Amino acid sequence: MKDRLKIGVSACFLYPDASRAAFASKTLQYVEQSVPHWIMSGGALPVMIPSPVGETARGDVDFDDYAQWLDGIVLHGGSDVWPGSYGETPLQERWSGDRNRDEYEIALVRSFAAAGKPVFGICRGLQLINVAFGGTLYQDIGTQRPEALVHRDAVAYDLNFHDVAIEPGSRLDRLLASQPSRKINSVHHQGVKDLAANFAVEARCPVDGMVEAIRHTGKSWVAAVQWHPEFHKPELGTLDDAPILQNFLAAARAARTHHNTAV
Q: How far apart are CA 236 and CA 263, in angstroms?
A: 46
Q: What's the pLDDT at 77?
A: 95
Residue of 76, 105, 230, 232 marked active site: 230
6-17+27-53+61-262 falls under which CATH superfamily? Class I glutamine amidotransferase (GATase) domain (3.40.50.880)
Per residue in 189-247, pLDDT tens? 999 999 999 999 999 999 999 999 999 999 999 999 999 999 999 999 999 999 999 99
Check: CB of residue 231 under 8 Å from CB of residue 34. yes
Give the residue-averaged pLDDT of 93-100: 97
What integer pLDDT is reported at residue 262 of this predicted model?
75
Is 205 one of the annotated active-site residues of the chain?
A: no
Catalytic hit among 105, 123, 205, 232: 123
Of the candidates 188, 189, 228, 232, the residue annotated as catalytic is 228
Using one digit for the tens of pLDDT, what is the confidence trace for 24-61? 999 999 999 999 999 999 999 999 999 999 889 999 99
| % pLDDT > 70, the chain | 99
pLDDT digits (tens, 9 = 90+) for 26-35: 999 999 999 9
Q: What span, in angstroms and rounded, lies between the C-alpha atoms of 42 and 65?
A: 24
* Predicted pLDDT of residue 2: 79
Note if 212 is an active site residue. no
pLDDT-based confidence at 166, cuts 50/70/90?
very high
